Structures are given as C-alpha cells and as structure tokens.
C-alpha cells in the first residue's frame, strides 16, 4: 500500500499572516451542479493533510459529485476533488483520516476503495 500524504509545517510558505490557498470551484456537473459539481472548492490550510485514494466505480461527473459530497461530510475534511477519468479522489483534511471510515463511506455510496494512490 503506497500513500501520498503531504503535510505543511506551520509558517511554511507564508508571505502574509493570513496566507491561504484556494482552488477554484469546478464547472457545474451534468445536472446543473445541484448534486454533482464535479468536486468541491477546497480551502487548503497550512498544516493540512492531503491523501489521494484510488476509487472504483466512478465513471462520470455525477459520480465525482456524489463521492465529493459524501466524503466532505467526514469530520475535519476541508476539501475533496474527485476525477472520474483517473479514478482518483484527493481529500484535504485537518488530520489524517481513518482509511476504514473512508472505505465505509465509499462503499455505502456504491463505490469501492482500491487503495491509497
């Protein structure tokens, strides 16, 4: 099992006291963005943890949105980006997530967790 986890030490890369990077929200999905915005806007905070998961069953923007919405509900999650073309889901959180919890959420939503990418 390989993992791609990044942490940023406090104060790293700061040029101003309120340094914060924000990803732009993706375009609305197949049904106008109500349920499948293709990912969520992620506020990446200093000291956050980024984990990339390889997910099965994700085939379209609707799937991306469904997965993003479900994982965004986990405590501490600040951003989720799902990409159907690669099957990868990137989750930004305040602390590392329990892999079994992520697996359970994905399973309940109808998707599978292969491994951390």
pLDDT tens digits, 41-69: 444 456 799 999 999 999 999 999 999 99
β-partners of residue 59 are: none
Q: Are 46 and 33 in contact (CB under 8 A)?
A: no
Average confidence score pLDDT of the chain: 75
Domains and CATH numbers, the chain: 33-116 (3.30.70.100)
What residues have CB less than 8 Å from 13, skipping those under 6 apart? 19, 46
| pTM greater than the 0.75 cutoff | no
Using the predicted structure, report yes or no on whether residue 30 has a pLDDT greater than 60.
no
56's enclosing H/E stretch is strand 49-56
Residue 42's pLDDT is: 44
Using the predicted structure, report yes or no on whether residue 91 has a pLDDT greater than 80.
yes
Count of CB atoms within 10 A of residue 45's CB? 15
Q: Could you tell me where the DSSP H helices lie in 4-91?
A: 61-72
Structure tokens at 12: 């790293």
């Amino acid at each position: 099992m390989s993992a791609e986890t990044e942490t940023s030490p406090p104060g790293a890369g700061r040029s101003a006291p309120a340094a914060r990077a924000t990803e732009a929200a993706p375009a609305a999905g197949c049904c106008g963005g109500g349920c499948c915005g293709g990912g969520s806007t992620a506020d990446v905070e200093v000291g956050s943890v980024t984990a990339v998961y390889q997910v099965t069953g994700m085939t379209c923007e609707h799937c991306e949105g469904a997965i993003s919405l479900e994982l965004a509900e986990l405590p501490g999650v600040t951003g989720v980006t799902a990409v159907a073309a690669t099957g990868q889901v990137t989750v930004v959180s305040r602390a590392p997530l329990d892999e079994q919890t992520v697996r359970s959420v994905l399973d309940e939503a109808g998707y599978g967790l292969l491994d951390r990418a």
